[in-house]
Chains A and B, each alone.
Chain A
Amino acid sequence: MNSNSLCDRLRSAWLDAAPAPTDGAGLAEELRAHLAGCAACQRALRAWPLAARALGELPRHSAPRELDSAVVAAIQAGARTDRAVRALERLARLTPPEQLAEALENPASGEARDEAAPMSRASAPRVLDRLVSEELSDPAKARVRRHVGGLRRLSAPAQLTTLVEQRTRNERARSAAAAALRVEVRRRLRMALGAAAAFALVAIALLVERPERPNEPKQRPFRVERASSLASLSPMTRGMLDNLSSGLTQAQRD
């Protein structure tokens, strides 16, 4: 017999005889011999009675007073459940109405069946079909929808009104400023276009009205003057440009 099996037998024998002496007195000769040579069993037989004693000496507690009311509550809850179960059982035991048996035996047309059907049973709402198919196809999604649908509706806090008012005021001011800027840009663009158009007309008129003289050496009808800024132009040229641009060049110089 191997040592482990003897260990098990020794411990089982001690449990049988507990509280038993830890020196193995009262054990079979074979087990006492094993005990003499097995340090693990010696340790176990020293420790087990101590643990058993410590567990046995644990203080006993009285059930707290709250237990009475808790048990009464449990009994009442149980009674309610029992009543509900009994009611359901009674329903399950009801015999089907005769019309149903007849309808099952002689299946008639849909209309005839409708006429024969008892009117006391409410029909399931149509939405049930959709809900059930949602539940079957994607239970997680259906569950989320049920829970989300049942969430409490909250009232907007008063602070929201103030914030929205402030925001709309800012938006109004910003759009008014943008509109003013657009008007100004358009005005300046019109002025510049007008000036350019006038300049082009004068130039064309000068070209057209000048008579050709065959013997006269060819002269340019206008003088090209290069300047890096308006200020460096001659006063005459500046005056002419001011007239042509309806004052735009003058405004820029100022």
Chain B
Amino acid sequence: MHSDPDHKLITACQQSLLEGLEGPFRELYELYKDRVYNVCYRITGNPTDALDASQETFGIVFRKIREFRFESKFSSWVYRVAVNASIDLKRRSRGRELASLEALDELGPESERVRHTVADERTEMPLRAAARHELEAEIQRAISRLSPKLRGITVLRYIESLSYEQIAEVLQISLGTVKSRLARAHEVLDRELTPVLDRYYLG
């Protein structure tokens, strides 16, 4: 049994008659929606799929929350649902072409609807912001080239900053597997990213 920081909220959800996105479930949703969306966004690689995967994640969480028995941390369970929903969605839409960040740029004004505001860009010089944008696109492309398993583990480790123990709990694998998969992910990422990162960080 874990001492879950969201224990009270989860219990409230379990005890109340959930009729929709209201009450304690709304609070839980507000707590997790950005985390879930970011995981889905980085695994799927585009905002449309991220929205679908996030929707599916919260749909599952809503339906299954009564069955949650605190055998793991609630956040681990939510992350697991989000990772699996994103990977499933990618598998289902394998035939579709990924809407890359460049494709969003080509959308013109429409892209504003789906583009996410990066806070520090507002204060950056345009050139610097463009370089950051390009770097983000390269990194996202490199993540997308990882296999689904490696992608999930990379996102949880480096974007959500989860510990190895937490990742092991989320993905229900051993610590050794976490580390070996992360090392494999590094091999791929380094091959893809080293020239880009050298250019960006070292000049």
Contacts and interface: CB of A to CB of B under 8 A. Distances in A.
Given A11-B183, A48-B186, A55-B139, A74 B158 contact: no
A123 B87 CA distance: 45
Interface in A66-86: 66-68, 70-79, 82
Contacts of A8: 180, 183
B37 A75 contact: no
B5 interface: no
A43 B135 CA distance: 21
Contacts of B116: 59, 61-62, 64
Contacts of A47: 186, 190, 193-194, 197
Interface residues of B, number: 53
A176 interface: no
Contact of A75 (B21, B47, B154): B21
A240 interface: no
Nearest to B58: A71
Given A58-B139, A64-B51, A67-B37, A51 B186 contact: yes
Main secondary structure of the interface of B (DSSP, over half): helix
Main secondary structure of the interface of A (DSSP, over half): helix
B107 interface: no
Contacts of A75: 18, 20-21, 58-59, 62
Interface in A44-65: 44, 47-48, 50-56, 58-64
A107 B12 CA distance: 55
Contact of B34 (A55, A58, A62): A62
A52 B119 CA distance: 21
A66 B59 contact: no
A12 interface: yes
Contact of B179 (A15, A44, A50): A15
B33 interface: yes
A222 to B, nearest CB: 97
B77 interface: no
Contacts of A50: 193-194, 197-198, 201
Interface of A: 8, 11-12, 15-16, 43-44, 47-48, 50-56, 58-64, 66-68, 70-79, 82
